[in-house]
Amino acid sequence: MLPNWLTGSQQGQSDGNNDERHVVLGTPLKAPLMEDQEEIVFGCGCFWGAEKGFWRLPGVVSTAVGYAGGQTPSPSYEQVCSGRTGHTEVVRVVYSTPAIDVSDLLKLFWECHDPTQGDRQGNDQGSQYRSAIYTTTPRQMQLALTSRDWYQQALTQAERNSITTEISADRTFHFAESYHQQYLARPGSRPYCSAMPTGISLGDFESANYLLPSQVWSHYDWSISHCVLRGENSPIQLQT
């Protein structure tokens, strides 16, 4: 069965499609986790561009966009955009723990957007665009906090502002409507991403256990604003 924090409309009652598959990866969006899989949820501004960044990483099994961190049950996109539900736009990432560590995911998270902007990301303003990490295991929470502290020191040294990222455990994830899923890989999609990377890399923070080789990160160029859109849709392939 699905995790307890995925209930009601999150299990597919909102669109009646529990068999929906990832447009790029071909994997089920709502399958139960396997023993060697974990999930974590990230908010990095508009979820269209953020999702593309994560689905490209080796070891990621599936991604889905949705809403989390608020109070309204079964929220719609229009309700979330009103700013009255308390939810933020997020990406749920399911990953294979032997292939990729949460440390790698946190590296992409901190580097792919500006976590100091509060209720805003780039040109998008509102609480639904706030930076957030919603964990599902104690280790994820530990690494989210220690990576935040490391990244804050790096930002401070660069004379940047303070991190505003919300970090909480086990917040209910609501799947967004089907047309939002893997939006940037769908024919006719409107290229858009609100993320504004800081250009500062996450290093070896306490208890980090990076599993991905350094060559993976050459596929991302955070010196270009919104560069998530300039990369390919296909997953990054590791050289053997």
For residue 83, give every residue at least 6 positions away whose Cβ sits within 8 Å of its Cβ, in sequence order, or none: 126, 127, 128
- Residue 76 in any domain: the answer is yes
- Residue 229 in any domain: the answer is no
Q: In whole angstroms, give the CA distance from residue 44 to residue 66.
A: 12
Phi and psi of 202, rounded to 5°? Answer: -85, 130
Alpha carbon 107 to its chain's center: 11
How many domains are contained in the chain? 1
Alpha carbon 15 to its chain's center: 22
- Residue 141 in any domain: the answer is yes
- Residue 226 in any domain: the answer is no
- Residue 18 in any domain: the answer is yes
- Residue 21 in any domain: the answer is yes
The residue from 44, 46, 112, 193 that is catalytic is: 46
Judge whether 90 and 69 are in contact, CB under 8 Å: yes
The CATH number of residue 207's host domain is 3.30.1060.10
- The parent domain of residue 163 ranges over 8-218
227 is catalytic: no
- Residue 238 in any domain: the answer is no
- pLDDT truncated to tens, each residue of the chain (240 aa)? 334 444 334 433 344 456 899 999 999 999 999 999 999 999 999 999 999 999 999 999 999 999 999 999 999 999 999 999 999 999 999 999 999 999 999 999 999 999 999 999 999 999 999 999 999 999 999 999 999 999 999 999 999 999 999 999 999 999 999 999 999 999 999 888 999 999 999 999 999 999 999 999 999 988 877 778 888 899 999 987
Q: In whole angstroms, give the CA distance from residue 163 to residue 214.
A: 25
